[in-house]
Amino acid sequence: MAFSARTETTLPSFMGSAFQEFVELSKVHDDSWGLALSNGSTATVTKKAETAALSSSFQETVQSANSYGGLLHFRWASPGLPVTDANAHPFTYQDIAFIHNGALSPYDAVKSLVAPKFAELQQGETDSEQFFLYLLTEIERLGFIDGVKTCMQNIKTNFKYSSINSMIINSEYLIVTSEHNPNNKPDWADEIYYELRYRLDDNGIAVASSGWNQEGWTLMNNHQMLIVDRKTLQAEVIDL
């Protein structure tokens, strides 16, 4: 889940009464929760290897943390990857925060593409963290928007994955990618498991994965990217 608002707000207030339905998804995606808040030049993160729906610290955090934008993630760990605080999403660097739903195959698929200065930042063992570090590599080389586009297009073209559905935010932009391979989805996943939808109005933008009440939200098609200017709330959907 991602949001960017015109005024400071808590995530439950911005999402509305259906937010608790989203929280219930953490009873399946129960390996960790994490909330990154994007305010100005920094992104701060709180994350714990526990089930959000059963966590008092999660409720305290989301109910009290005010921000102009941020990312929320409930992790369902990929097979063989440890359940630890370090492996929980979001991952952050300066004003950038990132979350990912899916898996690269093998897990270290993009490791060789990560610049040494960013490889040194790795704290966990996941493909998602290496995905993030590769994003940082391209962002430093090309700028935020072009770096994210290049990273996603390279992975789409040259690597195997179930999904690289992801959300990345900095002080200026929110970018959401809907890119998944139906042939590689987990056996237990239904046909709409990787669907992403967004809600854009005068108050701001919200984007979230499926499985809860998103009545009136706009579906992102597979192989699309949503780019939002956080200052103007101008949103553009492009094909990957």
Residue appearing with tokens 């009290």: 64
Confidence of residue 7 (pLDDT cuts 50, 70, 90): very high
Contact 166, 127 (CB under 8 A): no
The total of structural domains in the chain comes to 1
Between CA 43 and CA 173 the distance in angstroms is 13
The residue type at 45: V
- Assess whether pLDDT exceeds 90 at residue 61: yes
Least confident of 65-69, 115-119, 120-124, 179-183: 179-183
* Per-residue pLDDT, 159: 97
- Assess whether pLDDT exceeds 90 at residue 185: no
What's the chain's average pLDDT? 95
Confidence of residue 35 (pLDDT cuts 50, 70, 90): very high
* Per-residue pLDDT, 184: 74
Task: Please state the φ and ψ torsions of residue 138, each to the nearest 5 degrees.
Answer: -75, -35
* Per-residue pLDDT, 183: 79
pLDDT by residue (tens digit) across 141-171?
999 999 999 999 999 999 999 999 999 999 9
Q: How far is CA 201 from CA 18, 69, 147, 175, 204, in A?
A: 17, 15, 27, 17, 6
Residue 109 belongs to domain with CATH number: 3.60.20.10
Largest distance between two CA atoms of the chain: 44
pLDDT by residue (tens digit) across 206-215?
999 999 999 9
CA proximity to 101, closest of 77, 81, 122, 85: 77
For residue 128, give its domain range: 2-239
